[in-house]
Amino acid sequence: MLLSKLAIPNSKAPKQIMFVICLLGIGLYAKVAFAASIIYGEKSWTVTPIVSTQFQASNVNGADIAGASRHILLGKSLESPVKIFDPQTLASLQAITEEVTQPVVNAQLEIKDGWATTFIPDQNGLAIDLNWLAQMFGSEGVAGINLPVLVSEPSVKLAELNDMGINELVARGESDFSGSTKNRIVNVTVGSGKYNGLILKPGEEFSFNKFLGEVDAEHGFKPELVIKATGVTPEFGGGLCQVSSTMFRAAMNAGFPITARRNHSFAVHYYFPQGTDATIYPGVQDMKYINNLKTPVLIHTHMDLAHTKLYFDIYGTKDDRVVTFEGPVQYDRQTNGALKATWTRHVTLNGETTTQTFNSTYQPPALFQKQQTTVASTPNPQAESTPANSSTTPTPDTTKAQPTT
């Protein structure tokens, strides 16, 4: 239809038309390729866009077909050369778009008896300005591009719904439970839900075991492999250390003083990087920290089952503390799987710096390979071997629990 509207000046027009049609069918490539780094906050992507300034019919992404036809048939200059990307470039931009784009969300908060029974944090809407980005890509030699993001603010923000100071995200803990069995995922899901909505007062000590409750079938837990001194065996709650380790990481990132933490008997891939885990066992070993902010904090847990991630978010009001880390560093690695790790945190507030170092010793996994086939009657979600701030070699303990898959 576009070609029928063109004025053809001579009798050779049919051949020229067929030539254009062929070009339209295969696409016209006047490529310019260059590497560009796209930056957004702490994220960055490297893209090597392949740009055509004319058209490519197989990629209808804004090309001016009529203008390109006049250019070929009549020798006229393109009024407005169109920047067109090859499929690989488009795929890269689509991946960035999916990672950054998010809808605007209004906050919701309802509190009863010291717990948030309803909690949805507010969220800015984010959308990439693709037109601006395309213009930047059209310039050869651009080394770095700040990703153009359009921001829309929610009409209801968290700070407007309470006078407790639960206003913003203070810190986040994250872990990856990929490779977990169905039972283990159930235990992680049920276990993390025990802490969702918990509000800690200023100066209050968090205790993982205090809020965990009973770990048995009646409370939704499944049997899963755990480690004991007698060997690997299925028990209710196997995998709960995924939850305690994620909470430990959130508290570390928040700069909260850690008052109880121990590592597992041997290194397991669920808790990579080694040295950042925290094992627990009701009545024996706990994971604790103190909320030393001036305002209450709210714990919000959520899971991304598609990407097998668990998150512990701490909401409150930030102060001026600066949290920095050394490590975690793994060392003294042995061929039998034994290794050591160290993780140091510095918290600077009001001109004073507090340092905590966590040394972990992991034994050879073969020490715990004896199999048991019965489910223990006593709940045993997780336990540990090395005390916080200790680098001594632990003795295998009979209450140790840790998944092996």
Cα–Cα distance between 74 and 72 in angstroms, integer? 6
Residue 128 falls inside a structural domain: no
Q: Do 95 and 171 sit in the same domain of this protein?
A: no
Q: Which of 118, 71, 249, 84 is nearest to 175 (CA)?
A: 249
Identify the domain boundary among 99, 118, 144.
99
- Do residues 219 and 344 both lie within one domain? yes
In a domain, 105, yes or no: no
Q: Give the integer Cα–Cα distance in Å for 6 and 70.
A: 8
Token pair for 106: 């209004």
Per-residue pLDDT of the chain (405 residues; tens, 9 = 90+): 333 333 334 444 444 433 333 333 334 444 556 677 888 988 888 887 776 655 444 444 444 555 555 555 555 555 555 566 778 888 888 888 889 999 999 999 999 999 999 999 999 999 988 778 877 775 555 667 888 999 999 999 999 999 999 999 999 999 999 999 999 999 999 999 999 999 999 999 999 999 999 999 999 999 887 777 777 788 899 999 999 999 999 999 999 999 999 999 999 999 999 999 999 988 889 999 999 999 999 999 999 998 899 999 999 999 999 999 999 999 999 999 999 999 999 999 999 999 999 999 999 998 887 544 444 433 433 433 344 443 333 333 323 343 333
If asked whether residues 188 and 309 sit together in one domain, one would say: yes
Determine, yes or no, domain membership for 137.
no
Three-state DSSP class for residue 73 = helix
Q: Which residues contact 99 (CB under 8 A, 6 or more apart)?
A: 43
Q: Are residues 173 and 297 in the same domain?
A: yes
Of the residues 41, 64, 99, which one is the last residue of a structural domain? Answer: 99
Residues 93 and 181 in one domain: no
117, 110, 140: which is closest to 49 by C-alpha? 140
Q: Domain count for the chain, please give it.
A: 2
- Residues 94 and 193 placed together within one structural domain of the fold: no
Are 74 and 203 found together in one domain?
no
CB 279 within 8 A of CB 383: yes
Do 345 and 235 sit in the same domain of this protein? yes
Domain span including residue 327: 165-387
Report if residue 185 sits inside a domain. Answer: yes
Tell me which of 47, 78, 99 is where a domain ends: 99
Exposed e or buried b per residue across 134-160, where buried means at least 16 C-beta atoms within 10 angstroms of its C-beta: bebbbeeeeeebebbbeeeebeebbbe
**In a shared domain, residues 288 and 383:** yes
Q: In this structure, is residue 150 part of a structural domain?
A: no
Residue 258, domain member (yes or no): yes
Do 64 and 181 have their domain in common?
Answer: no
For residue 37, give the H/E element and its range.
strand 36-40
pLDDT score at 403: 36
378/246 same-domain check: yes
Same domain, 208 and 344: yes
Decide if 129 is inside a domain.
Answer: no
Question: Is 18 among the domain residues?
Answer: yes
